[in-house]
């Protein structure tokens, strides 16, 4: 949800076209011809984002929803909206707000502290601290919630078993509002870390040095200079975490359901899964959740846009390093504790659960009496269900990553390389899913493709469509970031030398952006692999993916199987994350080299 930089001055495609009299027909004037590609991309985005949300809105005030064999919506009624005042809806809203606010506080404290330690201090192991700040973002929320269920279940959690063995009369209950807040805060802290670290790293040290020269102490300088300059990043990331926590389904489902804690996303899921399904009432709740996130997202954009906080100058001033003195190692220990809570303990719990012969443990000594065995993991890996889900996940992820990268490149090119009036609209639609809960978008996609005369429901294609829609904002911004770093002169030079615009794009722009394109592809691949919420209403028994398989096994009480699948799941995502990181690290280096080689090839 960060803002894209203002693009450099370019020579848009339309500048190269001759003018035509206004009185000429639309086609001869070039209006349709020049906007043909933009209209195609707009139509694709309309099916991905606009039509699903329209159908959710209409379903909230209709008597029917599209079903297999029936695409009608019945008649209009406002009775569905009565669900908004029901005790369950009010309770779900209150719980969602509590989780959002609590998780935001924890994420801000952890993420901002790690960002400051990593970017502005002399604490040891800062490169490792940067890895610590980023790592949890690659762990699916479902896997993290399952891991903490294994760790802190009040009856059989590993931590509680250890506390009982030590004779300590206390029990940690993760199935509670504080427990959910704790887990959400842990796994959303990286979003704060990324935004605040970027702000602190780009901050001009001249302002802080000026404050010091005028007699300000370190504490005063931080309070009057550093903190105000970082405030947009703090507020923006805080609102982002609030929105993500409000719409989160996996953590609320895994840790909230055992204690009867319901949020708006889990309430929507319950209404859709009822017998008979209360789809229209679910649409009413979905509208409430979506409107809330829209206002939150608008608030974040307003906060970021209203402040003039650009402090990086052409000199490339290096941020001032703050000496921690006696707090150097305590700061590093703080980061290591976070790593323990967010990565080491959860992954260790999954590994232990996956390698135990019995899921029922009463003491820590019992855990190690029979030794650990990889039989469960091997059995799960060789099971037909897992192999089918793995293949389905790979197919869905590859198709979604390819389609998402193509759509993102097309929309970004039209926005920043042409004078099409549709460019800004395409950008708004492409980033709109940031304000749409994934579970709501999944509902809309279900009804969209049941309404269209294209039979993709029940296939892997509809799952890929959902993954593209959910991850589109990240793909668009990743591609746009690379495109804004590449000036259009090389492409325009190829056109001036006689190449067609399409050939210049394929032979000049795409090769120069290849690292950014590959990085975006891998990012979307990873996001599609871990997606759950948007797929909840779209899969069948033949199209289950890994995230659905983990959730189903957990719901059915197959904890060891769910843990084994999760271990393999995390390994797959870790490989993708490493590949994405390597591609990202090469982008800046290759951009300069590619620019030189691109000039020579014209």
Q: What is the pLDDT of residues 134-143, one digit of tens each?
A: 889 888 999 9
For 253, the token pair is 């489902």
CA distances from 56 to 74, 171, 227, 279, 594 (A): 14, 43, 42, 10, 46
Averaging pLDDT over each range in 177-181, 452-456, 537-541, 577-581, which range is the top one? 177-181
* Model pLDDT, residue 22: 47
pLDDT over threshold 90, residue 11 = no
Instruction: For residue 236, give every residue at least 6 positions away whose Cβ sits within 8 Å of its Cβ, in sequence order, or none.
Output: 1, 2, 195, 300, 303, 304
Give the separation between CA 543 and CA 551, rounded to whole angstroms.
14
Please determine, for residue 158, whether its predicted confidence score (pLDDT) is greater than 50: yes
Which 3 state secondary structure label does DSSP give 170? coil
Residue range 475-490: average pLDDT? 81
Specify the higher pLDDT residue, 39 or 371: 39
DSSP helix, strand, coil percent of the chain (3-state; round to 5): 75, 0, 25
**C-beta neighbour count of 492 within 10 angstroms:** 20
Please determine, for residue 172, whether its predicted confidence score (pLDDT) is greater than 80.
Answer: yes
Distance (Å, whole) CA 570 – CA 574: 6
Other CB atoms within 10 Å distance of the CB of residue 21 = 7
Whether the per-residue pLDDT at 594 is higher than 60: the answer is no
pLDDT exceeds 70 at position 209: no
Contact 320, 120 (CB under 8 A): yes
The C-alpha atoms of residue 493 and residue 489 are separated, in whole angstroms, by 6
DSSP-assigned beta bridge partners for residue 67: 70
The answer to whether residues 116 and 200 touch, using CB atoms and an 8 Å cutoff, is yes
What does the pLDDT read at residue 318?
Answer: 60
> pLDDT band at residue 5, thresholds of 50, 70 and 90?
very low
Q: Check pLDDT > 60 for residue 7.
A: no
Please tell me the predicted confidence (pLDDT) of residue 275: 78
Give whole-number Cα distances, 128 to 114, 134, 203, 407, in Å. 11, 10, 22, 35
What's the confidence (pLDDT) of residue 519?
82
What pLDDT shows up at residue 368? Answer: 67
Check residue 81 and report its DSSP letter: G
Give the whole-angstrom CA distance, residue 240 versus residue 100.
10
What are the start and end residues of each CATH 1.10.3720.10 domain in the chain?
8-59+379-602, 85-312+323-366
- Burial code (b: 16+ CB inside 10 Å, e: under 16) for 243-281 equals bbbbbbbbbbbbbbebeebbbbbbbbbbbbeeeeebbbb
Report the 3 state secondary structure along 415-480: HHHCCCCCHHHHHHHHHHHHHCCHHHHHHHHHHHHHHCCCCCCCCHHHHHHHHHHHHHHHHHHHHH
Query: Considering only CA atoms, which of 463, 480, 486 is closest in space to residue 590?
Result: 486
Q: Please provide the average confidence, as pLDDT, over all residues in the chain.
A: 83
> Could you tell me the CA-to-CA distances from 20 to 26, 29, 34, 38 in Å, in that order?
10, 5, 12, 20
Q: What is the pLDDT of residue 314?
A: 43
Point out which residues pair with 121 in neighbouring strands: 322
The predicted structure's pLDDT at residue 208 = 66
Judged by average pLDDT, the poorest of 296-300, 308-312, 388-392, 583-587 is: 308-312
Q: Report yes or no: 146 and 566 within 8 Å, Cβ to Cβ.
A: yes
Q: Which residues, including other chains, have CB under 8 Å from residue 532's CB and lie 6 or more apart? A: 140, 141, 142, 249, 250, 547, 548, 551
User: Is the omega angle on the peptide bond into residue 246 within 30 degrees of 0, that is, cis?
Assistant: no
Q: What is the pLDDT of residue 310?
A: 45
Whole-number pLDDT of residue 225: 73
Mean pLDDT lowest among 6-15, 254-263, 271-280, 352-361: 6-15
Mean of pLDDT values over 378-395: 93
Confidence of residue 491 (pLDDT cuts 50, 70, 90): confident
Tokens of 529: 């692999």
Determine what percent of the chain is predicted with pLDDT higher than 90: 41
pLDDT of residue 391: 95
Spatial distance between the Cα atoms of 237 and 108, rounded to a whole number of angstroms:
8
Q: How many other β-carbons are positioned within 10 Å of the β-carbon of residue 556?
A: 10
Q: How confident is the model at residue 33 (pLDDT cuts 50, 70, 90)?
A: low
Q: 500 burial class (0-12, 13-18, 19+ CB within 10 angstroms)?
A: exposed
Using CA atoms, how far residue 458 sits from 92, 400, 541, 543, in Å, is 30, 16, 9, 7
Burial of 166 (0-12, 13-18, 19+ CB in 10 A): exposed
Residue 327: which pLDDT band, with cuts at 50, 70 and 90? confident
Longest dimension (CA), the chain: 89
Q: Is there a contact between 466 and 442 (Cβ–Cβ < 8 Å)?
A: yes
Q: Which two tokens stand for residue 565?
A: 């699948």
pLDDT at 263: 95
Task: Tell me if residue 76 falls in helix, strand or coil.
Answer: strand
Distances (CA, A) of 102 to 106, 133, 181, 517: 6, 19, 6, 37
Is pLDDT above 80 for 218?
no
Work out the average pLDDT over 438-460: 91
The answer to whether the predicted template modeling score (pTM) of the entire model surpasses 0.75 is: yes
How many beta carbons lie within 10 A of that of residue 454, not counting itself? Answer: 11
Whether residue 256 is predicted with pLDDT greater than 90 in this model: the reply is yes
Mean pLDDT, residues 299-309? 61
Alpha-carbon gap, residue 196 to 112, rounded angstroms = 6
Phi first, then psi, for residue 70 (nearest 5°) are -150, 110
The first and second tokens of residue 502, run together, are 């399409």
pLDDT band at 27 (very low <50, low <70, confident <90, very high): very low
8 A C-beta contact, residue 130 and residue 122: no
Domain 85-312+323-366: CATH superfamily, name plus number: MetI-like (1.10.3720.10)
Structure tokens at 372: 């650990």
Q: How confident is the model at residue 303 (pLDDT cuts 50, 70, 90)?
A: low
pLDDT of residue 75: 76
CB contact at 8 A, 441 and 490: no
pLDDT at residue 229, as a whole number: 78
Residues 6+ apart with CB under 8 A from 80: 60, 61, 62, 280, 281, 283, 284
Yes or no: domain 8-59+379-602 corresponds to CATH 1.10.3210.10: no
**If DSSP codes are grouped into helix, strand and coil, which group holds residue 322?**
strand
- Rounded mean pLDDT, 185-210: 82
User: How much is the pLDDT for 17?
Assistant: 44
**Span 407-439, pLDDT tens digits:** 999 999 998 888 788 888 999 999 889 888 999
Cis peptide before 276 (omega within 30 of 0): yes
């Amino acid at each position: 949800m960060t803002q894209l930089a203002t693009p450099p001055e370019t020579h848009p495609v339309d500048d190269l076209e001759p003018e035509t009299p206004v009185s000429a027909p639309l086609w001869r004037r070039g209006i349709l011809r020049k906007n043909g590609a933009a209209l195609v991309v707009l139509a694709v985005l309309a099916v991905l984002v606009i039509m699903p949300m329209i159908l959710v809105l209409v379903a909230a005030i209709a008597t029917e929803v599209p079903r297999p064999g029936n695409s009608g919506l019945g008649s209009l009624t406002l009775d569905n909206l009565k669900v908004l005042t029901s005790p369950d809806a009010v309770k779900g809203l209150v719980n969602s707000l509590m989780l959002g606010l609590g998780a935001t506080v924890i994420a801000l404290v952890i993420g901002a502290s790690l960002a400051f330690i990593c970017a502005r201090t002399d604490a040891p192991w800062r490169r490792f601290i940067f890895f610590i700040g980023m790592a949890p973002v690659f762990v699916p929320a479902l896997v993290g919630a399952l891991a903490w269920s294994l760790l802190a279940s009040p009856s059989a959690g590993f931590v509680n078993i250890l506390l009982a063995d030590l004779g300590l009369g206390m029990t940690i209950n993760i199935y509670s509002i504080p427990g959910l807040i704790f887990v959400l805060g842990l796994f959303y802290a990286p979003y704060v870390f990324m935004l605040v670290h970027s702000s602190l790293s780009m901050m001009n040290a001249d302002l802080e040095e000026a404050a010091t020269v005028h007699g300000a102490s370190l504490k005063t300088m931080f309070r009057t200079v550093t903190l105000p300059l970082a405030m947009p990043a703090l507020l923006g990331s805080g609102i982002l975490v609030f929105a993500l926590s409000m719409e989160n389904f996996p953590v609320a489902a895994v840790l909230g359901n055992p204690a009867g804690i319901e949020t708006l996303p889990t309430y929507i899921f319950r209404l859709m899964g009822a017998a008979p399904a209360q789809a229209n009432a679910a649409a009413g709740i979905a509208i409430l959740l979506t409107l809330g996130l829209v206002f939150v997202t608008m608030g974040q954009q307003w906060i970021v846009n209203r402040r003039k906080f650009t402090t990086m100058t052409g000199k490339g001033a290096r941020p001032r390093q703050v000496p921690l003195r006696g707090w150097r190692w305590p700061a590093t220990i703080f980061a290591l504790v976070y790593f323990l809570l967010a990565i080491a303990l959860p992954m260790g719990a999954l590994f232990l659960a996956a390698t135990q012969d019995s899921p029922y443990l009463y003491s820590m000594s019992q855990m190690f009496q029979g030794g650990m065995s990889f039989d469960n993991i091997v059995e799960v890996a060789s099971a037909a269900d897992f192999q089918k889900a793995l293949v389905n996940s790979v197919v869905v992820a590859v198709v979604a990553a390819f389609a998402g990268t193509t759509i993102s490149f097309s929309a970004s090119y039209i926005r920043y390389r042409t004078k099409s009036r549709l460019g800004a609209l395409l950008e708004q639609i492409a980033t709109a899913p940031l304000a749409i809960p994934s579970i709501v978008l999944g509902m809309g996609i279900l009804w969209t493709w049941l309404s269209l005369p294209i039979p993709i429901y029940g296939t892997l294609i509809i799952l890929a469509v959902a993954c593209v829609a959910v991850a589109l904002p990240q793909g668009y911004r990743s591609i746009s970031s690379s495109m804004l770093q590449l000036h259009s002169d090389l492409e325009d030079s190829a056109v001036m030398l006689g190449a067609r615009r399409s050939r210049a794009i394929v032979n000049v722009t795409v090769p120069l952006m290849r690292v950014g394109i590959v990085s975006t592809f891998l990012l979307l691949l990873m996001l599609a692999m871990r997606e759950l919420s948007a797929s909840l209403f779209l899969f069948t028994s033949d199209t289950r993916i890994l995230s659905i398989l983990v959730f189903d096994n957990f719901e059915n009480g197959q904890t060891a199987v769910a843990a084994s699948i999760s271990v393999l799941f995390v390994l797959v995502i870790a490989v993708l994350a490493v590949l994405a990181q390597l591609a990202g690290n090469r982008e800046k280096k290759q951009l300069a080299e590619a620019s030189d080689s691109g000039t020579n090839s014209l």
